A and B are shown apart, each in its own frame.
Chain A
C-alpha cells in the first residue's frame, strides 16, 4: 500500500494541508474520525483528524508542525509517500437532524470541524460557527467554512481579522443575544476546549470536545490515551475522541499531555540536526 501525498499546500506559517491517497480509509471515514500516521518506519504513530475526503481516493489532513513527527511529515513533498496510515479511528460525531448547532474551532482545530459542519448541514441543521486564531495569518479554512455554515464569526487574539478576542467571547456574545442551541462542538487547543466547556456548562448546553491525549495504537490496546470523563476512565481512541466537555477532567488531560516534554525536545533536537531523514532511513533499513 502506498500512501502517496497527492497535494500539499502551506496554509499558515507552520501548518500544512495535505491530501493522502488512501481509498480504503476515504470510503469509510465519517465526521469526527481520525487516522494514525507514521511518516517513516522509525516514526511515532501520531493521530491526525480526517479533515475531508474525496470519497473514493484520498483523505485530507491539516497539521501544525510542533515536533519531530509533524516536522518529518512537513519534509515530504507532493508525490512522496508516507510509510503508514491507519483508520478511520474513533467514534464518528453524533450528528442530529434539524437542530440549532454551534461549532467552534480554534487554531489547527478548525481542520477538525470542517467535516462536522458539512455533515451537520447535510442533515438539515442550522450551523453557527466561531473561528478563532492568533492572527489573520494563522486563520485557516475561513472561506471554505463561510460557504457552508449559516453564520460565521471570527475572533483573533490581535484583532488582525474579525473581532479582537477569544472564541469564548463569541460564545458569550451569542448567548447574550438570547440565541438558543441544541448542541455544540469545540475543537482546538486543550485550554480553549476547557473554557468553551465551562461557558457551555453555564448554559446547560451539550458541547462535544475532541480530546487529544497522547496515543500510540489508536485501537484500544494500550490504555495510554486514557482520560477521565464523569469520573470514569475512558480510552479516547475508541470511546471518543469526542466527549461531552462539561464532564471532562481537563486538568488530568493537560497533565498527561506533558508526559514526554523532555524526550520530545531531545528528539526534536536530533531531528533538526538532520540526523533523521525519512527517505534515507527508509533505504538504510531495508
Chain B
C-alpha cells in the first residue's frame, strides 16, 4: 500500500486480545498512540462545509479540534471540545459514531475511503487533557448570578445542564437518588467500555465549577418538587428512562431471570464482579441467554460472559467464561447496538440467534431451567421504518439455560412523576415539553431520556445544554419583570 492508498483507510486503534479480555472487566479499546492520532487527524480533509458537524447532535467543531491535533496542540483541541461537550472522554467512547458524526463524514461518499475516526480522536484529546492538565485545570466562571437552579438526576443530561449554568455563575445543586453520580454512565455502561475512573474525573471537573451534588436524594420522597420550587428559581428534570420493560411471559418470577437493569446495576453500581470484596452478589449460571439487540443487550451479554465460573481443582483454579447467547427477534441488520460493540461481542465468542423470541420460561423447583423461543420472520415495516417481526405459527425451539437477562427497553421511572402529577405526560409516558424544553409547569424544564425515551448519551447532553440556555433566558426575563 502506498502512502496515498493508506490515507484512504482509517488507522485502527489498539484493542485487547478478545480471548484474554473476556475474562476480566478492564477496558477493551486502548485508543491511539500520539503518532497514530496525528496520522489519523491528517486524513481529515478540513471541509469548509463539514457534514460531520451536522451529524453530531451537539455540532462540535470537528474539523477545528482535529486540526489542532495535527498541530499537536492538544490543549487547544481540548478547549474546542469542551465548548460543545463537557464529557468528551465519554462521548468519544460511547457515541454511536457510525450513525452520527462519522456516518455523516464526506469520506463515506468517496469510493474506497473510510470516514475519519472522529470518536477515537475525541477520546485521545480528552484523555490527553485529563492526564496532562488534571491538577492545573483552570476553572472559568463568568461572573455570579444570584439565581439558584436545582437539577434532578446526575446523568449526562443533568451533568451538562449543571456545568453550563455553573460556568455562567448560577448556583447549581444536583439531586441524585443513587449513592453514586453519573446515571446510566455509572450504573449501566460497564467498566470494560467506560472505566469508572474516566467518569469520576469528568464529574469532579464539573464539581470544580461549583456544582454541588447531593446523593441519596430521591426527589419526590426525600425532597418534593414543591419544596424545590420554594428554594430554587428554576428546576431541570433529567431523570432518565430508568424502569425496565419486561417480557412478562409465563415463568417470569423464576430465579435466574434478570432485567438488564438489575443485572447491570449489580455489576456496575454495586461492583458484584468483585464479590465478595464488594458485598452485593450476582448469580450467573454457565448457560446464559440475553434477549434484545441494543447496547444494553451487548453490555449484558459481555458482562455475563466475563462473570464466568471459577472451577476449583485440588491443585489449581481454572477460569471458564460463561456460554452466552443473544436472542433477537429481528436480524443482524436491524440491531440498534453500536456496531463496534456488536463486533466485539462476536469476537469474544457470543452466539447470536436471529429471528427468535422467548415465549415461556420453564423452571424446576423455582429455578429457571429452559427457555422456549418462537421463530419469527420479517414482515411489513413498522413506524420505526424497520421490518416488523412476526411469529411463525408452530415453530418453537427450547434452549437449556440457567440465566436469562431481558434487555428489551426502559420506560420512565414513575416515582417522581406520580409525586407531582401537575407535570403533563405525552402518550408514551414521557414528559411533555415545549420548544424551549419547558414542561407544562412554569420554571420546570426537562431533557434527556425522560423526554425522548431511551436514546443516547450525546442527545441527553445536547438536551441538557439546550435546557440550560432556556433557563438562562427564562430567569433573565423574570429578572426584568421584577425590576
Residues of A within 8 A of B (CB): 1, 24-25, 28, 38, 42-45, 68-69, 72, 83-89, 216-217, 219-224, 226, 228, 233, 238, 249, 252, 255-256, 258-260, 263-264, 266-267, 270, 276
Contacts and interface: CB of A to CB of B under 8 A. Distances in A.
A44 B252 CA distance: 24
A263 B252 CA distance: 22
- Interface of chain A: mostly helix, strand, loop or mixed: mixed
Closest 6 CB pairs of A and B: A263-B281, A255-B366, A222-B262, A221-B242, A86-B216, A223-B259
B244 A216 contact: no
Contacts of B218: 86-87, 89, 219
Interface in B420-446: none
Contacts of A1: 214-216
B316 interface: no
A264 B282 CA distance: 11
B146 interface: no
A238 B415 contact: yes
Contacts of A221: 242-244, 261, 265, 413
Nearest to A40: B279
Given A24-B223, A86-B222, A267 B281 contact: yes
B266 interface: yes
Contact of B246 (A25, A86, A216, A233): A233
Contacts of A233: 246, 248, 252-253
A42 B277 contact: yes
Contacts of B179: 38, 45, 83-84, 86
Interface in B248-285: 248, 252-253, 255, 258-259, 261-262, 265-266, 269-271, 275-281, 283
A84 B244 contact: no
Most buried by A among B179, B242, B246: B179
Given A219-B218, A222-B262, A233-B246, A28 B279 contact: no
B176 to A, nearest CB: 10
Given A88-B221, A224-B262, A69 B413 contact: no
B222 A223 contact: no
A260 B266 CA distance: 13
A49 B141 CA distance: 44
A69 B279 contact: yes
Given A28-B221, A238-B415, A86 B279 contact: no
Contact of A84 (B215, B221, B242, B253): B215
B289 to A, nearest CB: 17
A220 B243 contact: yes
Most buried by B among A83, A224, A252, A264: A224
A224 B260 CA distance: 10
Interface of B: 177-179, 214-218, 221-224, 242-244, 246, 248, 252-253, 255, 258-259, 261-262, 265-266, 269-271, 275-281, 283, 366, 413-415
Given A220-B415, A258-B255, A267-B276, 18 more contacts: A28-B221, A28-B223, A38-B179, A42-B279, A84-B179, A86-B218, A87-B218, A89-B221, A219-B415, A221-B243, A221-B413, A222-B259, A223-B246, A223-B261, A233-B246, A252-B253, A270-B276, A276-B279
Contacts of A276: 277, 279
A86 B283 CA distance: 25
Contact of A217 (B265, B271, B283): B265
B191 to A, nearest CB: 16
A43 B274 CA distance: 12
20 contacts: A25-B222, A42-B279, A68-B279, A72-B279, A84-B179, A84-B216, A85-B216, A86-B177, A86-B179, A86-B216, A219-B242, A220-B414, A233-B248, A238-B415, A252-B253, A255-B255, A256-B255, A258-B366, A270-B276, A276-B277
Contacts of B277: 42, 276
Most buried by B among A45, A223, A258: A223
A183 to B, nearest CB: 23
- Interface of chain B: mostly helix, strand, loop or mixed: loop
A239 to B, nearest CB: 10
Contact of A88 (B214, B222, B258): B222
Contacts of A44: 270, 279-280
Most buried by A among B178, B258, B277: B178
Contact of A220 (B242, B255, B265, B279): B242
Nearest to B176: A86
A87 B221 contact: yes
B131 to A, nearest CB: 21
A61 B248 CA distance: 35
A214 to B, nearest CB: 10
A220 B416 CA distance: 11
B265 A263 contact: no
B276 A222 contact: no
A236 B242 CA distance: 16
Nearest to B418: A238
Contacts of A42: 271, 277-279
A226 B257 CA distance: 11
A53 to B, nearest CB: 13
A283 B165 CA distance: 34
Given A88-B221, A221-B413, A226 B281 contact: no
Contacts of A43: 279
Contact of B253 (A220, A226, A258, A260): A226
